[in-house]
Amino acid sequence: MKSTSLEQAGRSICAVLLVAFGVAGCGGSTEHEAANASEEAWMSIFDGESLEGWTPKIRGEAFGSDERGTFRVEDGAITVGYDRYDGFSGDFGHLFHDTPYNYYRLRFEYRFFGDQVPGGPGWAWRNSGMMIHSPAGETMGVDQDFPISIEVQLLGGNGTDDRSTANLCTPGTHVVMDSQLETRHCINAASPTFHGDDWVQAEILALGDSLIVHRVVGEDVLSYTHPQIGGGSVDGHDPAYKQDGMLLRGGFFSLQSESHPVQFRNLEILNLEGCMDPSDAAFKEYFVAADPSACTGN
């Protein structure tokens, strides 16, 4: 459902504070002065030992099936590997987190390593991504290549040339930039290039259907508004889930497998949607959207 002008205005004000200062007291009140009201309740979404809470979807396989062990845990990191592949034939994959979110900050580290599996497309060399604002993984068709989503594209350098990371790609979606509907499939971020196999810190700020910001090592590198369904660059999907023009308020997120080995670790989320009653024990000053069910009544 499209937000009202009043709601959008409120989110815009909050967005400015969030981008400029990290997390500000958008829902704060002088009535509540408990110390934990401002303490950030970051939650780990990867236990470092298993894929509990995550479910794979590999093109050509049913949701939940990963016959070649594309996604596994190695050395305390979610690892995307291809040692059980004879070659790559467009079998793109995504590892979905089981819980949807609408307003949040999501931070993680990633690194590329090793060699691309034979048959992987040239553009997918040292290429992966974090897909956000997606329908549930089980809605994907068996032969669907990418979820209809917003992709925070993650790239690695070749040792010489500039190659930005935390770019935007849009499988089945559009966004608004500079007050104009942006229909290009991929847009580069203003980020440095990261060569080699070192870990890179990235963060996503998502404020429902209003604002999304990409960050790399603490710096904002790309921002846009009004993520919505539209355009192409996605195949094998159920048309019922592609209602062009519909704003994307939130949804599920997933890690990509696109033919180059990559690892993810230290995945944490700060939910910005919660109890906004300053008198309630569950209240947090940084909440920007209300979820009355999160209130404890205490």
Q: Which domains does the chain have, with CATH numbers?
A: 5-294 (2.60.120.560)
| The pLDDT of residue 15 is above 60 | no
> Residue 98 in 3-state DSSP?
coil
In this predicted structure, what is the pLDDT of residue 17? 47
In this predicted structure, what is the pLDDT of residue 262? 98
State which amino acid sits at residue 261.
Answer: P
In this predicted structure, what is the pLDDT of residue 19? 44
Mean of all residue pLDDT scores within the chain? 91
Q: What distance in Å separates the CA atoms of residue 231 and residue 260, rounded to the nearest whole number?
A: 26
| The pLDDT of residue 288 is above 50 | yes
Report, as an integer, the average pLDDT of 3-10.
40
Report, as an integer, the average pLDDT of 41-52.
98
Q: What contacts 24+ positions apart, CB below 8 Å, involve 64-68?
A: 66/93
State which amino acid sits at residue 91.
Answer: D
Q: What distance in Å separates the CA atoms of residue 11 and residue 27, rounded to the nearest whole number?
A: 11
In this predicted structure, what is the pLDDT of residue 35? 63
Q: How many CB atoms are closer than 10 A to CB 72? A: 16
| The pLDDT of residue 182 is above 70 | yes
| The pLDDT of residue 208 is above 70 | yes
In this predicted structure, what is the pLDDT of residue 107? 98
Is the pTM higher than 0.75?
Answer: yes
More reliable by pLDDT, 34 or 77: 77
Using pLDDT thresholds of 50, 70 and 90, give the confidence band for residue 52. Answer: very high
Q: What distance in Å separates the CA atoms of residue 119 and residue 111, rounded to the nearest whole number?
A: 21
In this predicted structure, what is the pLDDT of residue 36? 85
| Chain centroid to CA 2 | 21
Q: What distance in Å separates the CA atoms of residue 48 and residue 83, rounded to the nearest whole number?
A: 21
Report, as an integer, the average pLDDT of 66-78.
98
In this predicted structure, what is the pLDDT of residue 298? 87
| The pLDDT of residue 197 is above 90 | yes
- Give the 3-state secondary structure percentages of the chain, helix then strand then coil, rounded to 5: 10, 35, 55
Angstrom distances, CA of residue 12 to CA of 157, 217, 220: 34, 24, 17
DSSP string covering 48-92: SS--TTEEEEETTS-TT--TT--EEEETTEEEE--TT-S--SS--
> Residue 292 in 3-state DSSP?
helix
State which amino acid sits at residue 90.
Answer: G
| The pLDDT of residue 266 is above 80 | yes
| The pLDDT of residue 206 is above 70 | yes
Q: How many CB atoms are closer than 10 A to CB 62? A: 10
State which amino acid sits at residue 22.
Answer: G
In this predicted structure, what is the pLDDT of residue 11? 46
Using pLDDT thresholds of 50, 70 and 90, give the confidence band for residue 130. Answer: very high
| The pLDDT of residue 128 is above 90 | yes
